[in-house]
Structure 1
Amino acid sequence: MSVNVDTETARPGDDSYVGAAWELKERIRQTEDVLKQRKGFFTDAYRRSTVYLLVSHEGDDEHLMGFAAVRRDGYILFLAVAPEFRGEGVGKRLVGRVAENHDSVTCHARASNENALGFYEHLGFEVERHIQNYYEDGGDAYYLKLGGGGGLTEKISDFMRG
């Protein structure tokens, strides 16, 4: 049986896949101790964002591979990729979708989250600043930006080819 992958977009006010996104976020939180947002905050932010989703279909089975919830200004509120799909370009495709629609892409990443920081660095994001006690639990963050120095279009082209 073949697996099809679809790119879905949930526009502001559309809560399609919000339950699946919450479940994925919680699975990651429990195993990696990141993405610690409360459910009310998460669902409200999801509903106010444009959310890009990659969904696999195999027969009648549907599986959320990953999602990126983005504000109007290109700020990524949440980016999550199911562990079983990491290393397959899912995160890269999601950030690419964001970059197609914004002049710059920004986000925060937990300073202790080496996997996320390595991922963003690989895509060409640069650290703009370090913010102490950014998270509710007192954790530090880095504010990251893609698009600036070499031009966003050039950077996107580079990482989409790579």
Structure 2
Amino acid sequence: MKIDTATKAEHLELIKIWELSVRATHDFLSDENISSLKPLILEHYFDAVDLRIAKNDSNKIAGFIGVADCNVEMLFISPDYRNKGVGSLLLKNAIENQSANKVDVNEQNPDAVGFYIHLGFSVIGRSPLDGQGNPFPLIHMALTDT
């Protein structure tokens, strides 16, 4: 796997990975939630972060991470590459090269919380609502091995 900076031309492929990943890991989100988030991510959120992608030897995108102000704003892996080290690779690269040291994780996604704990993050707080004001609690985490 290699890490590259995402280009605007890759955003359509990234939003497909995002949707597949969300449907595989965020079972608390309704189709309506996903449909309302999709254009926001594609048209606004991708452009608001330092967006990096992991590509395999065939140049196929396996996953991506977006960081802004030292915060991991998004980390999504294609279901074909889940549990194969792509998320760890992207996160470690973000810590080393994008100054990532914080993340907010959906409380209803315990696998993600465990993933970040495994990679050195600790819980520092909780919010009852997500960034859009929806009743999806967020766990605030920070890197403790800095």
User: TM-score if structure 1 supplies the norm length?
Assistant: 0.75
| Correspondence for 1:129 | 125
* CA drift at 1:104: 4.9
- For residues 55-134 of structure 1, what are the structure 2 equivalents within 5 Å? 55-58=55-58, 62-71=59-68, 73-134=69-130
**Whole-angstrom distance in 1 between the partners of 2:3 and 2:116:** 21
Amino acid at match of 1:79: L
Q: When the two structures are aligned, how many residues end up with a matched partner?
A: 138
The 8 Å contact of residues 67 and 100 in structure 2, kept in 1 or not, is answered as no
Equivalent residue of 2:8, what SS?
A: coil
Q: Where do 5+ consecutive residues of structure 2 fail to align?
A: none
CA pair 23-123 structure 1, distance change in 2 beyond 3 A = same
| Correspondence for 1:30 | 23
Amino acid at match of 2:89: R
Amino acid at match of 1:131: S
Q: Where do 5+ consecutive residues of structure 1 fail to align?
A: 153-162
**Whole-angstrom distance in 1 between the partners of 2:91 and 2:25:** 21
More helix by share: 2
Aligned with 2:2 (options 6, 15, 28): 6
| Correspondence for 1:51 | 51
CA RMSD in angstroms comes to 2.1
**Whole-angstrom distance in 2 between the partners of 1:39 and 1:123:** 28
Q: Does residue 1:20 correspond to 2:20, yes or no?
A: no
* CA drift at 1:87: 2.2
Equivalent residue of 2:112, what SS?
A: helix
1:8-46 Cα distance to aligned partner (Å, 9 max, x none): 113xxx414211110011112223336846133212111
The 8 Å contact of residues 132 and 139 in structure 1, kept in 2 or not, is answered as yes
CA pair 103-7 structure 1, distance change in 2 beyond 3 A = closer
**Whole-angstrom distance in 2 between the partners of 1:103 and 1:48:** 16
User: TM-score if structure 2 supplies the norm length?
Assistant: 0.83
Aligned with 1:145 (options 139, 142, 145): 142
The 8 Å contact of residues 110 and 139 in structure 1, kept in 2 or not, is answered as yes
The 8 Å contact of residues 107 and 139 in structure 2, kept in 1 or not, is answered as yes
